[in-house]
Structure formats: structure tokens, C-alpha cells
Amino acid sequence: MISQCLNPACRKELHYLRNGRVIRTTRRIGAEVQVEHFWLCGECHMDFDFLFAKDGRVSLAPRPRFIATAHVDIGKPAMDLLLVS
């Protein structure tokens, strides 16, 4: 059962599923199937995403930041925005 945000620096308690992101993982250990659920609160999901290791473990990875570059050429936009996800 999920009780708090996966981010160890946050650990906000889960009260409602309307904010953030929930994932379910399954992994086989011998004949047994292990099911786990993880939650990132809405604030933490803005900065972090789930990272899945080959052994089935789940951790956090920082989300890529937006990159903006200014152009000084006349007639071109003042900023280009590159979205990375």
C-alpha cells in the first residue's frame, strides 16, 4: 500500500490520488510475483521521474530542465524553447 511520496526529501503523506503520479511494478522472484506501487506527489513529479533498474528496483531521477537560448537576429523570435522529456 502506498502511504507517502517516494522522494526521501519530501515523504508527503498520500491522502488522494488526484495529485501526482502512481506507478505499479511487477517482478518475478522464483515462482512468486511481487507487485509494488509507488507515488510521487505533484510537487516532486515536477522535478523528478521514476527510474527503473534492470533488477526491478525503482528510484528517482531528476527531470531534464527546459533549455532556452536567446537570439539577437532581427526578425527571429527572442527565445527558442526546447522541450526535453
Asked, for residue 12, whether it belongs to a domain, the answer is no
Cα-Cα-Cα-Cα dihedral sign, residues 21, 22, 28, 34: positive
In a domain, 76, yes or no: yes
pLDDT for the residue 64: 84
d(CA 8, CA 61): 12
Q: Is 58 within a domain?
A: yes
Helix (H, G, I), strand (E, B) or coil at 34: strand
Q: What's the total number of domains in the chain?
A: 1
pTM exceeds 0.75: no
Assess if residue 4 is contained within a domain.
no
pLDDT in tens, 46-84: 999 999 988 878 999 999 876 655 555 555 555 555 555
Asked if the structure places residue 48 within a domain, the reply is yes
Structural domain harbouring 77: 21-82
Average pLDDT of the residues of the chain: 82
Specify if 42 maps to a domain. Answer: yes
